[in-house]
Chains A and B, each alone.
Chain A
Amino acid sequence: MSVRPLALVVEDSDDQSALLRHLLEREGYEVFNAPNAETAVAAFGDIQPRLAILDLRLPGMSGTECARLVRERFPDCFLIVSSVLDTADYPAADAALPKPITGADLRKLLERLTP
């Protein structure tokens, strides 16, 4: 069992999820990457994410719906919405991380999370 906290990344773009993986690993997270919401939901039984970064524009189930399910299943999980859409259209979450994402932006959010 890993001592590193787990981050769930739901992101359909490979490049974007690779970027998030690098940034999160630099911050000391284990990353579980799901290319769509359905995969993420299917994995709910095996994971216990401390952090979830969700894209909104996803194939199949939308990011908004996915955010609702994550919140329901893991109420303590820190929920971050990250999208190219206007932040005005984001669903309720703990934080918003509009694209393009930089390491500095992410770090700022994660500082709030570290107890």
Chain B
Amino acid sequence: MTARSSLTAPSGVTVEDRWYRAFSRATPLVKQLPNTIAMAIALVLTFGVPDLPITSAAITLWGAGIVFAATAYAAILGWWHRLDGLLVFVIPILDMIGFGMLRAGTGAGMSIFASLVLLPVVWLAMAPGVRYVFVVLAMTSLIILTPYFVNPPSTSADWLRGVISPIVYAAAAAIVNVLSRQQRRRAEQAEQLVSDRTKALAENQEMIAQLRESEQQYRTLLESFESLWSSITAQAVIATDCRGTIEAWNPGAERMLGLSSAEALNGVRIDRFFPPSVLSMLADVHPDLEHPLAPADLPPGIQALFARADADSTVEGDLEIATVGGSTVPARVTVTPRKSGTGEQRGYLLVITDETRSVEVARMKDEFVGMISHELRTPLSAIIGFIDLLRNDPETPLSTEQKEFVSIIERNAQRLLALVGDLLFTAQVESGRFPLEYQTVDICDSVRTALRSSTPHAQREGIILSAAVPEDPVMTLVDAGRIGQALDNLLSNAIKFTPRGGRVTAGVEVRPDEVVLSVRDTGLGIPKDEQGMLYNRFFRASTATRNAVPGVGLGLTITRAIVIAHGGNMDFTSEVGGGTEFRITLPISPKSDSIPVAADHN
């Protein structure tokens, strides 16, 4: 990561490492260099310029020797990396002595080289601590007074020179000392500031790196979510707020409903996609449900849908959905309440699956079964028609034996025909399309009629039939033909599964808003483990196969389909050896097309 390395200072690098390091933290040799050069120039001038006085060539040379020795010493300290401390301050002290001897050797008070001592004085004065000011005072006093021991001054003015000059040097040293101390402190502060800044910068870098990492994670999450979202193209997924305004609109919704996401999120409300007939149907199913959060102008159908989603946590149903283009789509709609992380209601989630294809498949299946049934019926019609012709031919009447054979053929042809009818009917039931012709009838009459038509069968099997119906008529809105068929099936089963001498009772019980029809027998009963499969097409109980009870296993499927189509339901209780009771519960006046809820589908 190039950005990172360019922003982060490598560890251990401080301001001292810059180009001016050689001066701010100079080696003793570098500091000594001006002294050495000054001494060399002084020597050249002393011995090269004849006008300059030389009081003592020996002392002068000794002085120069001390300075050069100090230079050598400085070089050694530099070699050892000793940049500070007392050992280093020996150098300017030696320099002072050297320059002092130079002065003494070149005319003492008259020497033009007296001021050279300022070089080591400044060096020493820059050292931290006031004590060096006193060292300067002592050393300069020593240098100035030393020649007086050899050659005592004649005037008091000369004595004063020995006192004043060191004081001036000391004062200068004191000023330099104070200034350099301030300078040092300022440098330290600057240093501190820089290191603080560097630290803060490093922390910022760290934080930026963390932020970048979490941003990366967030981005990855977002990308995966977005790809997930945009890959849902088969279903329309729509989120609304509590008022039904659309808040999320996936590509599937764009495709199915013909509205772009940008348009949909521009304050469009969900009821736009429900045709008026569906809205009024939804409102009719649950007229009492009103949604507490919804605005008053939200259609009651949507309010009912939302309220049901709140109550049941999810609602599923097959509805017609209106597209923007004005067409309608058969669809399966699932509505779920949408909650925030804190459990607060945020709105609703609608998942709409286009059922056009499955409706089409169901239609084709229906068509296919219909065609097959008709194809089967055509030859059966010919068989039955010609048998009839044969039996009723006035010119060549059949013998008694032939008549018997022909009637066996006819009975079997009729059974085949009935089976084809049942098959066609179950196919119609499966595709959800079989017509009911409602009429108001006395349901007790239907039960009595069914019992009457079952009487010959019961007599053949030696079964006693009885009715338990109320005296007063129970007027019910049903398809009398279909209900009769359902009762016939139940009675026929009861008779078939009851041993000779048993009893079959058909009853009617009136409850508020509903009526219960029952058929009870004292027969074989249904084993517990087979009870769940009872309504499966072509299922036959083990008691049926074991006892050679005839049938193909369509009767109960058809019966149940008829009952469900009436908006009713069917249940039973059974005990092996104790008998079985089937109950049909029908609403006295059925609801118009009730919205099928998931649980009702098998």
Using a CB–CB distance below 8 Å, which chain A residues touch chain B?
13, 15-16, 19, 22-23, 26, 57, 84-85, 88, 99-104
Of A23, A100, A103, the contact of B381 (CB 8 Å cutoff): A100
Q: How far does the Cβ of A59 sit from chain B's closest Cβ, in whole Å?
A: 14
Give CA–CA (A100, B435) in the complex, Å. Answer: 22
Give CA–CA (A5, B385) in the complex, Å. Answer: 23
Which residues of chain A come closer than 8 Å to B383, judged between CB atoms?
100
Q: Can you show 18 pairs from A to B with CB atoms below 8 A apart?
A: A15-B386, A16-B378, A16-B381, A19-B382, A19-B389, A22-B389, A57-B374, A84-B377, A99-B377, A99-B378, A99-B385, A100-B380, A100-B382, A100-B385, A100-B417, A101-B385, A102-B388, A103-B389
Which residues of chain A come closer than 8 Å to B378, judged between CB atoms?
13, 16, 84, 99
Which residues of chain B come closer than 8 Å to A100, judged between CB atoms?
377, 380-385, 417
Q: Is B392 an interface residue (CB 8 A)?
A: yes
Contact assessment for A102 and B377 in the assembled complex, using a CB-CB cutoff below 8 Å = no
Q: CB-defined interface of B365-389 with A at 8 Å, one 1/0 digit per residue?
A: 0000000001001111111111011
Interface SS of chain B: helix
Give CA–CA (A104, B410) in the complex, Å. Answer: 15
Tell whether A16 pairs with B384 under 8 Å between CB atoms, given A84-B374, A100-B417. no
Q: How far does the Cβ of A16 sit from chain B's closest Cβ, in whole Å?
A: 6
- Among residues of B, the one whose C-beta sits closest to the C-beta of A107 is B392
Tell whether A88 pairs with B389 under 8 Å between CB atoms, given A16-B381, A100-B380, A101-B381. no
Interface size class of B (residues with CB under 8 A): 10 to 19
Give CA–CA (A104, B381) in the complex, Å. Answer: 14
Which residues of chain B come closer than 8 Å to A57, judged between CB atoms?
374
Q: CB-defined interface of B145-162 with A at 8 Å, one 1/0 digit per residue?
A: 000000000000000000
Give CA–CA (A23, B384) in the complex, Å. Answer: 13
Other CB < 8 Å A-B pairs besides A19-B382, A84-B381, A100-B380, 19 of them? Answer: A13-B382, A16-B382, A16-B385, A19-B385, A84-B374, A84-B378, A88-B435, A99-B378, A99-B381, A99-B385, A100-B381, A100-B384, A100-B385, A100-B417, A101-B385, A102-B384, A102-B385, A104-B388, A104-B392
Which residues of chain A come closer than 8 Å to B389, judged between CB atoms?
19, 22-23, 103
- Among residues of B, the one whose C-beta sits closest to the C-beta of A98 is B381
Give CA–CA (A23, B387) in the complex, Å. Answer: 12
Which residues of chain B come closer than 8 Å to A104, judged between CB atoms?
388, 392
- Among residues of B, the one whose C-beta sits closest to the C-beta of A16 is B382
Contact assessment for B374 and A85 in the assembled complex, using a CB-CB cutoff below 8 Å = yes
- Among residues of B, the one whose C-beta sits closest to the C-beta of A22 is B389
Q: B residues 380-417 with Cβ under 8 Å of A? A: 380-386, 388-389, 392, 394, 417
Which residues of chain A come closer than 8 Å to B385, judged between CB atoms?
15-16, 19, 23, 99-102
Which residues of chain A come closer than 8 Å to B374, judged between CB atoms?
57, 84-85
Give CA–CA (A82, B122) in the complex, Å. Answer: 136
Give CA–CA (A84, B384) in the complex, Å. Answer: 13
Give CA–CA (A110, B575) in the complex, Å. Answer: 54
Give CA–CA (A102, B410) in the complex, Å. Answer: 12
Which residues of chain A come closer than 8 Å to B379, judged between CB atoms?
15
Which residues of chain A come closer than 8 Å to B417, judged between CB atoms?
100
Q: Which 3 A-B pairs have the closest CB atoms?
A: A100-B384, A99-B381, A100-B381
